[in-house]
C-alpha cells in the first residue's frame, strides 16, 4: 500500500511495551508522529529514537503525540526505552501488519 498526501491514516490498535492498547482512533484530533523502525538497539534506529527523545519537549509543547513502532517484542522495547530514556511509547507490531498498511515494511531487496 502506498499512502499519499490527503489519505486517511489506516486505523490500528497496538500494544505498547506495558501491554496497554494504543488506538489511533483515540488520538483523533491530535497531531501524531508515527515512526516505524526495523529494530531496537541498532545504530540507525537508536539515532532516530534519540532524535525524537531530544526534541520531545518541543512536541509536548505543541501537544503532539510521538509513537515508535517496530516488530520487536515488549521486553525488547522496555529495555531499549529504558537504556535511552525514551519518554514516548514504543508499540509492538508483531509480524509487521500495521507497518505494511502504512507502506513502511516489506521484504528487503538486496542489490535491486
pTM here is 0.89
Domain count, the chain: 1
Kindly report the CATH number assigned to the domain that includes residue 57.
3.40.30.10
Residue 91 grid cell: 508499540
Here the cell at position 55 is: 526534541
Report yes or no on 97 lying in a domain: yes
Residue 6 counted as domain residue: no
The pLDDT of residue 110 is 61
- Domain coverage including residue 56: 13-101
Cell of 94: 508483531
Split at pLDDT 50, 70, 90, the class of 2 is confident
| Beta carbons within 8 Å of 88's beta carbon, 6+ residues apart | 52, 53, 56, 65, 66, 67, 68
Residue 3 is predicted with a pLDDT of 77
Average pLDDT over every residue of 97-111: 77
Residue 88's Cα: distance from chain center in Å? 9
- Which residues does the annotation mark as catalytic? 45
pLDDT digits (tens, 9 = 90+) for 21-55: 999 999 998 999 999 999 999 999 999 999 999 99
Amino acid at each position: 500500500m502506498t499512502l499519499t498526501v490527503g489519505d486517511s491514516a489506516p486505523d490500528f490498535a497496538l500494544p505498547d511495551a506495558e501491554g496497554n492498547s494504543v488506538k489511533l482512533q483515540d488520538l483523533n484530533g491530535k497531531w501524531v508522529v508515527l515512526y516505524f523502525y526495523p529494530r531496537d538497539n541498532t545504530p540507525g534506529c537508536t539515532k532516530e529514537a534519540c532524535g525524537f527523545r531530544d526534541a520531545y519537549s518541543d512536541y509536548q509543547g505543541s501537544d503532539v503525540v510521538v509513537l515508535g513502532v517496530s516488530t520487536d517484542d515488549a521486553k525488547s522495547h522496555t529495555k531499549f526505552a529504558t537504556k535511552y530514556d525514551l519518554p514516548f511509547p514504543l508499540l509492538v507490531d508483531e509480524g509487521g501488519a500495521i507497518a505494511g498498511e502504512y507502506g513502511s515494511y516489506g521484504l528487503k531487496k538486496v542489490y535491486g
